[in-house]
Structure 1
Amino acid sequence: MLRVSLLGEQVIADDASGAVLTRSPRSVALVGHLVVHAGQAQPRRLLAGLFWPDSTDAQALTNLRRELHQLRRVLGDPPSLSVTGQDLCWQDTPSSRVDVREFAVAHRAALAAGDPGSAARHARAGLEAYRGELLPGLADDWVLAARAELERQCVELCDLLCRTPSGDPAAALAAARRRIALRPLEETGYRTLMALQAAAGDRAGAVSTYHRCASVLERELGVVPAEATRAALRRLLARPDPEPRRTAAPGLVGRAAELARLGELWRAAASGRAGFVLVRGDAGVGKTRLVTELAGAARAEGAIVAAGRCFAAPGRLALAPVADWLRTPAVQRAAASLDPVWRAEVDRLLPATRTAGGGHPTVDAWQRLRFFEGLARALTASGRPVLLVLDNAQWCDEETGAFVTFCLGLLPDAPLLVAATLRDGDPGPGVAAWTAQLRDDGRLTELPLRPFDADGTARLGEAVAGRPLSTSDRELLHAATGGYPLYVVEALRADDSPPAEGLAAVLRTRLEQPGPAAREIAGLAAAAGRDVTLELLTEASDLDADTVVDAVDELWRRRIVREFGGAYDFTHDLLRETAYQQVSPPRRWLLHRRLAQGLELLHAGDTDAVAAQLAEQYARGGRPDRAVAHYRRAAAVAAGTFAHAEAIRLLREALALVTARPASGNRDRDELAVLEALAGPLNAHQGYSSPELQRTLERSLALAESLGDAEAALTALLELWSSRFVQGRTVQAHEAAERALGLLAPGTSAEQGGSAHFIVAGSALSLGHDPAGALRHFELGAERTRGASSWPIGTRPDVHGPAWAAHAHWLLGHEEEAVACGAEAIALARRIDHPYSLAIALAYAGMTHQMRRDRQALGVVVTELRALCERYGFAYYREWALLLGGWARGGPAGLAAAQQGVANLKAEGSFARMPYWLSLVAELSPPEAARATLDAALAAGEARDDRWWLPEVLRLRAGHDADPVPRLRAAVELARAQGSIALRRRAEADLERS
């Protein structure tokens, strides 16, 4: 049976197996047109002209025949599709399930039902079938018309379900919310939802619905809610008289030149030149207001506008602004049409379902780019111009900045503009880095905002005051406010006259205007540090729910807070800061603790989404023990979305709390747990050569040994080996490896035991020890970890072992075995579909082919390795590809590539195998440079005990000596001592020729 999905996605699949038969936009659209006109024969000429309007009639018919042939090849010959020489027709048959037809049947049945129960049942079935707009992403006239009609019918079902007494209030509430999402400018939906919420006893929710309605109407239409909607609010608040007037919001004053420039940038982006505009200036200069005006203009043009904000509060979530963008209904509808592989990446950030108390699956760092690509595809899936607003970018987390940079680089031709606001003088630590990259890429436009001059200040003042200002008032207003719009607006709202004091005093006056309950709630909201729900304010305050609702309504009317996505936030960060400063320190301590307790109550059983907030609130509320546990959980959640920088920040906060406690065994155990959690994100973010990672692992080892925790000590040693080895500290790495091997016990896991053998083999081989002994350890490591699901050293020994063992085989003179080992590693990496393991296998195979001096085989491997590293961002093995590819290519270009590879490795602090890499550079260099490079290779090998390749370096260096014999004899003796048969033979051959 066929399953044709046209609502919210575009796919035709096998209903039994779920296998996708086609996602071809043209094929699905053709079926969609026939489905929309089911039972009505569609002439071929009409379809050809509709789908290929720019082709001749003959060519359009040919195109239709070709498309129909392809469709029938994929779908077979479904009975639902009737094909004649003159026309095509879709018929409803048992062999096909079509969501549009199922919706139509349910819609008719609901309207024709004779009793409320049947009507509600059919309405629910219709809403279940309507998973989104028809053929998302398509904008042909026939699609738009059909889409509008289906949406109208869906609204009709929502209304029916809301007014039908079915005994299922939850379904009615869901239907009302869905109606609002479909028709956000129609007040009927808001009034219906308010009535249902009030009937369910959710007075707070009903008031929030009114606030959202008023905010949408003001932003989109510049009007206030109708009297019927305002009357509904009065009934909720038990106010017989008209509600207090909400403080008026002035229109945009001035900024004509800046708004025109934003318009130019938007038009360029909407035409297919993705870009980033950064509106920057002092606090209160009007950055957000200007970008809001651009957003309104973009919405009016039919673009998708998605808004996200950054917060200074440490309890933020990594990628929170991106999550806000993805929650935008238009983005969600379009993203539903993505292939499952990309939807799965979106689900990492916005899981459709979450198991209470469940953990996040372990993820490899290399998957981060695929994750980012999934998010980027979701944001642009609609095909419509998209404006992404990023407010308060000075507090932007590192991961959001990295994603924005990646997205614009991945989709340079997308109709996409990111408009960010940034407060001057207050950038976060990572903001300068990613904005600099955007600037270097030519994607960044900076738009500085300055305070108003005297005339602009006066015009804004008059707009806020609603009356002309005298000359003296104009002068005083500009002198007192400096032309900062926020200062002007808040000053006149506070006193309706030009201020005589500074901005801080004005904001304090504004916050003193509301009643006592509202002031208390303002302090509580400020302590939250970000947007906060009415439910949380009620749980955390001393006030009853009705009083909290009234207090928030007062703050909203005075424009001290605003509604945002079902929660409330201050209209400006300076207001939040002032409100927090007005709370006494002991009171703050209490508020933080209550907020933490309220969050735990509201998110009982699933605190992942608020783990960072809980940690911060408990830390500020004097409960470091609870804060540490939540910091660790928040870090795990962040790492699950590749937000390694954020995970590091959270764990550093936890570590600071733990180490501040008096020394004790419990404190040491807690510190060890935090350090163990910190090692993974440090490695993913900073690399194995990171000094901080090394310090973390060494401290972990010391704690584990002092606590007598052998398993933790073994874990630390395995990870410490990786850090030391990549840094070129070969002897110290081998010491760690031998200590790890000595800790193996009967209960040791196969993963840890196999990894211990692997690291002993790797460092022993690099030290120039017996290759045969190293080979035995490689084989044991691969055997014990084959099929393991986790790897303590970050790589798979069952792949990495054979790949590296190939070098031991080659040194022993086993050339065929060396090639076979490399091929085995590559085959296994392909079979398990693990790109990082494949990069390792290809890189080591490349070295094997270079040692064999097989340039042709090396070229094939390096080509694939380079593409893989570019695709997934494997920086370390990208340098291997540069070096090996440079050697294979030869000439000046090859030398430049190899030199760049060495420079990159040194810059990253990666000195392992440096004598080998330098020898490749020397082979490509002129004689004088070659001598110097080989001398450097010898010095590096001796200094770092990286001795396995030194016989070859000596052999090459002998070629530049007047008398090569002494150095060649030294090469032979060193190779013999190391058991390196292949290198000894090379040196002996040169010695015989000398």
Structure 2
Amino acid sequence: MRLVPRLGSGIPLVARVDEMRRLRAGFTRAERGEAGAVLLAGDAGVGKTRLLAELAEFAGSRGALVLTGRCLDVREGGLPYLPFAEALGPLATADDAAVGDAVRIRPALGRLLPLAQPGPVSNVEYVPVTSEHEAPYRPRPEQDLGQLQLFDAVLGVLTEIAEHRPVLLVLEDLHWADGSTRNLLSFLLSRLRSQRLLIVASYREEDVYRRHPLRGLLVELVRLPVVTQLELHPLKEADARAFVEALADGPLAPEVVASVAERSEGNPFFAEELLASCSDCTDIPAGLAEVLLARLERLSPDARRVLRAISVAGESVSHAALAEVSGLGEDELDEALREAVQHHVLVVEKGAYAFRHALLQEAMYGDLLPGERTRMHAAYAARITRTPQGRGHDAKLAYHSLQSRDLTTALPALLRAAEEAERLGAPGAALRHAEQALEIWDAVPAAARPHDVDELRLLHEASYFAGTSGEPERAIAYARSAVQELRTDTDVVRATKTWRRLAEALMNVEGTIDEALEAIDRAWHLVADAEPSKTRAWVLATRAAILRGTERGAESLASAQAAVEDARTAESAGAEASALITLGALADNAADFVEARARLRDAERKARDASAPNVELRALCFLGFSYEDQGEIAEAIEVFQRGIKRAEETGLTWSAYGLELRARHLSLLYQSGDWPSESVTGAPARGVSSVLTARMTASWLPIVVARGRFTVAGKLLAELRPHWRAEPLTAIAAGSAGVELAYWQGDHETAVKRAREAMDFLEALDPGYRLSGIRLGTGALAAVAAQAAVARLRGDDAGATAAAELGEQLIERIRYAAEHGEPRSGALGPEGRAWLARAEATASGLRGPADPALWAKAAEEFGYGTVYEQAVCRWQHAEALLAAAEPERAAEVLVEAHQTADKLRAMPLRDAIRDLARRARIELPGVVAAALPQRDTVDPLTERERAVLERVALGRTNRQVGDELYISEKTVSVHLSRVMAKLGATRRAEAVAIAYDRGLLVRPAGQSVVRT
């Protein structure tokens, strides 16, 4: 994919709402005659220029004169008054007479505006000119024009112009300003009173070190009552991700978005450079590195030496460590650190030193010579071995030993670091340590390797860590490599555990159930005749779970019961808890919910006591499923929340069950109407499988569509499509959201196409997903019913019949899915029944007005806790009631639907409800009727007469107009008669033509308002 930097060319201003509001408020005050100034501070690349461009555009749209000047980085003394000369330069050639006069009467401005040509105004003395090539008169040059005269002239010209129109003066990069510019700025700000003038000056905060000449001026300026300070901070994590996505020309992998957002630390310029200059965004771009290193080149050699030492550390470094690694004396080190801190390159964090921005560290580290880098890493490793052990000790030792190529020291350090990471609940870090150990295993002499570790153990642990950190595909790959390492003389227990690890890894990936069953059977074969033990209990428990997934219920039950017996004999509470989960799930399938939930709660407790977090999360998942399937939404949400908390506490957020808990929880929040912000999905940890991140995105997508964020939704749909086969639940969620998106966009053919694609895909993949066809088919059915209604209104009988026949095929397929699908509890639950009722209600409107009773039933069925879908049904119920001439009941129902849609900010539904209310002349509480556009002529038509005439212009018959506006055909005829009389027309067509000629119609021809 080609990525192009596009800052300032269509990229929306992200997360600067508060700053923009404050700047606009300052300009608004200036418009009222309250002059002011804003000092805008921020790091290089944080977005100051972009923010000021937005302000300039805003001010320009309000009729203001916008003047912009920039300081330049000129080392030797600077250019006097440069930003003012640039900003005021356009005044010399302005077409505005008021501006021209204001400039001409101030000769002192000639020092700033060399193009200004004074004209013959009364207070300027002129002398004759003898050259035939010159104008008859020229101004007498003033001698010894003082600085104060220039300052007065600048203030005077701005004040005079501001009497005619507001003025916005923008001065950028004030940290490079020369002394004269600083003095002029101070003069202007100290004399701001009632001018319609706003001055905004920006500067780089990190460049204004303690001895910088601007620093003292800033201290003085902020004391002025007209001056405010505004600091522009880096983007927060969620905003940084949104900015990165906006920069790209096409969809980005979630891990790329997360990486760029993390490394840029919220700096838009850094993010743009990282994204535009490198395909994988792992190396720092050469151009960006040069920009960053240029700042550091200004420092003294000792300061740069210290920075090189800190860059090698990769973290904050204590003073004692720097003294040892840098080789500088105490006095030299103190001065070097003081210089780096004052120039905002380093910051002090808890008594240690770190780079102010991570990319500065990357740039400096990348600039090191190979030998220099190796020596410093070795020095850090040597120091670590001599210091007391603490948290992260082994990880640091392993890192520096690897970089200094001391592999003999690195290998055991990596193994200890992996154990520590697991204890701390960081399986991703443990995986990276295990993988690094595998990479160097063969390079370390056998005699130097730890005696209690071999390659088989490393592969086994790498598989486990990958599975618990959100990388199921790698978990399988390592498990397969591990079984290939098995030999005929391998210990039976180790061989059994290896085969079981492979089976467990395969359990969590779609399409591998047969291989999982084969692997667990191999493990079972090794211990089938053995005495009860922990190993045998775990094999039985895992086998029971896999057998249940293959619909071999009786065998699964027997294996689970045997696992419980073995686990109790061997005192393995974790294995017992795992088996209890399967027993609970089997009871749930048999609709014995009391027993199921008791088993699952017992499993949760035992797993927690046994410190088996994966098993605990699995128990919570199945307990939540039990409540969810029966429509007990509040109870299910509580369970899933508890599971999410435990996943976070144990570091298993991106494990298979940690992900499932969060995805189900988000889905239930959608149903309950407690819609969260987008950040609830969470940024994926580095290395998390794209399949898992797609599942979370798919869970969020219905809210995106329902809130009308169609552009974002379309982009997400394209990203999710490649992941359907790997995760069918993504196909279900994305398919349903895609159908609804097309429906709200009025693209009914696409809605049907998307529904059929998803239904066909899921049935071909596994008939067990047939039940999803109820919801998918219902979405398509709504689109077909809308097509049929439009065709009827247009008098297109053939189109209406074709749509109705297609809809009847869909309702039959939906009924088949409901009858032959396989619910988890054996019977269709509340959600399935509600969607089926909605399908039947929708189908009742295929050949004419829908049945209000069926829509009332659908709304009632969704009353188990699905708020948004119930509001949709109420909207449709109200429309059916209007068609059945029951306007009072329709109004009551429509008001309820509107309250929900408005509360949820479900814009497409809310707008559809308001459109229906307007057509039916129903008043919605809190909704003010839209004001009609202003016309140059007197409008003789009433709102209802205009509505009738608009539909006549679309080719509707009187009957069709009545159906659409919920009035009788006779009433339509009366309205038309009045319209023709008012317009002096004798025919319908003539009335329409006259109305268009006079600009009396609201809608352009061809627009339809029909929705169903």
Query: TM-score with structure 2 length normalisation?
Result: 0.37
Q: Which has the larger radius of gyration?
A: 2
Q: TM-score, normalised by structure 1?
A: 0.38
